[in-house]
Amino acid sequence: MEHNKTKLFHFTRACHPPNPSINLSSVGGSVISPKPIWQYLGFYFDRKLNFNYHTHFYAMKCLSTLSAMKMLDNSSRGLLPIQKQLLYRTCVLPITLYGFQLWFFKGTPIVKNITELKKRLSSGLQVLSEPLQLKALKLLQASSPLPYTSAN
């Protein structure tokens, strides 16, 4: 067993649970302290399994993808509305909704996660639709899986 690759993580729903370390000195290791966030296969798990860090991380990644797409729009010719919609559906949505099936299920307290995703996707729609007509905005809104809300 490689002790330097060993990680410790406690999952709990308690309000203020203890977070004890494990002493592996008796087997040739050191003291292992629990981590606040655990990343595995691109998913970010926190102690209470509410996935707030996961949704925040991918919402911010959505914004950086949108800013890169905006740079494409500032090129010499710009992008057509159908090209913007295609980029949004193929680049932004898969990044933003990565792991959605993991934390979105019945009985889960997900209001904060959904609110953040709606806000980021809505701001993305507004960024992409600034130079477009209202018809193109409706087209982009139709491609979003979450309801459109203002980013205020």
For 39-66, what is each residue's pLDDT tens digit? 888 888 888 888 888 888 988 888 888 8
pTM: predicted TM-score of the whole model, two decimal places: 0.68
In a domain, 150, yes or no: no
Task: Give the count of domains, the chain.
Answer: 2
Q: Do 70 and 26 lie in a common domain?
A: no
Do residues 92 and 124 touch, judged by C-beta distance below 8 A?
yes
Q: Do 132 and 87 lie in a common domain?
A: yes
Q: Do 54 and 28 lie in a common domain?
A: no
Domain that holds residue 138: 48-143
Note the Cα 61 to chain centre separation in Å.
7
In a domain, 118, yes or no: yes
- The residue ranking higher by pLDDT, 18 or 64, is 64
95 contacts: CB under 8 Å, gap ≥ 6: 58, 61, 62, 65
Strands 31-32 and 22-23: antiparallel
